Amino acid sequence: MNERDAELLERALDLAERGRRSASPNPLVGCVIARDGRVLGEGWHERRGEPHAERNALDACSEPVVGATAYVSLEPCSHYGRQPPCADALLAAGIARVVCAIGDPNPEVDGRGLERLRAAGVAVELAGGRLEARARRQNAAFRTHAVHGRPFVLLKLAATLDGRIATSAGESRWISAPESRALVHAWRAEFDAVAVGSGTALADDPELLPRDVEPPAERLPLRVVFDRRGRLEADSKLARSAAASAVVRVAPPGAPAPPQGVEPLTASSPAEALALLGARELTSLLVEGGAELAAGLLQAGLVDALALFLAPKLIGGDGRPLLGPLGVTALAAAPQLLETSVRQIGPDVLVEGLLHPLP
């Protein structure tokens, strides 16, 4: 790859982001068709059931593409689904070279798309390095679901500088600043599902829907309450809005029935619950608390990434802690963030990182 190749593949990754709120459960994919560095056409995958990025890019070309290069953010598919194989479309168009950011872990693809292209005489290059890393992060949800059969889990927490999420009297509104809360609403518009524990549902009575996001959310996330004691109330905002937007209550066998309109999901463990959500083709789950649910998911190794908003406030030791017990008796056993980053969000500080390497 030369410098222009890298620029055009970066453009394909940028195009893929345009499907962020609509493509799931399909991956984010962008494609640029170019000859001698000159762009002939570009496209991206917008939503399931509609043409894939490669097809859209080919259709956007105003001249023949025989001998051209396709820059694709994800390995072209090689199987028939709701759309025909993209590898075949590239071959039929006469593409001579494909530059790809990363392979597709979907068992129906998993290298077969690139191999089909190579077998037909197409020169295939994988980017590696920085562009591969970006592509892996970009499709973390799709890749996690394909490999593990469960949603990618982002744990969002907000606390004071001394790690408190509420005062001793239970007051928690608002720990984080308006700018931080606006960012979380934008995340809700991107995720397939949003979850809280029953303690948070009782204390904060959240609705868990994206508000005031631009552009408006195209689809609303499934709302999930982990409620092993069956405490979700019928007059809660979640239960009262369930007819307009689905709410699922996760509880073990034998738990009381949820309020009318709330769908029961029976699971004996967080891992079983996530597997059941994954079976519904939910690829991403934003967990917004509370302390007990967060600790349980961390202990089970089910958190993929953490986003911790730290507000410039102090509550003290009589405040409620950020996390429930993790059972850590040695520092070597403590969950540790990888690839951490820190940024300012209004007056707050946002610390982000992975809990384990992405698939």
> How are strands ordered across the β-sheet holding 69-72?
38-44, 30-35, 69-72, 97-100, 123-126
Do the bridges between strand 69-72 and strand 38-44 make them parallel or antiparallel, or are there none, so unpaired?
unpaired
Residues with active-site annotation: 54
DSSP character string of 178-195: HHHHHHHHHHHHHSSEEE
Q: How far apart are CA 250 and CA 151, in angstroms?
A: 15
Q: How far apart are CA 108 and CA 100, in angstroms?
A: 18
Residue with tokens 């790859």: 1
Do the bridges between strand 305-311 and strand 152-160 make them parallel or antiparallel, or are there none, so unpaired?
parallel
Report which secondary-structure segment, H or E, holds 123.
Answer: strand 123-126
Residue with tokens 């303690």: 199
Quote the tokens at residue 291. Answer: 């302390």
Residue with tokens 């029953």: 198
Classify 110 in phi/psi space as left (phi over 0), alpha (psi -120 to 50) or beta.
Answer: left
CA 313 from centroid of its chain's CA atoms: 30
Contact partners, residue 113, CB within 8 Å, separation at least 6: 75, 76, 77, 78, 85, 86, 87, 104
Contact partners, residue 340, CB within 8 Å, separation at least 6: 351, 352, 353
Report which secondary-structure segment, H or E, holds 354.
Answer: strand 348-354
Is residue 97 within 8 Å of 8, Cβ to Cβ?
A: no
Measured CA distances, 90 to 52, 68, 80, 81 (Å): 12, 10, 15, 17
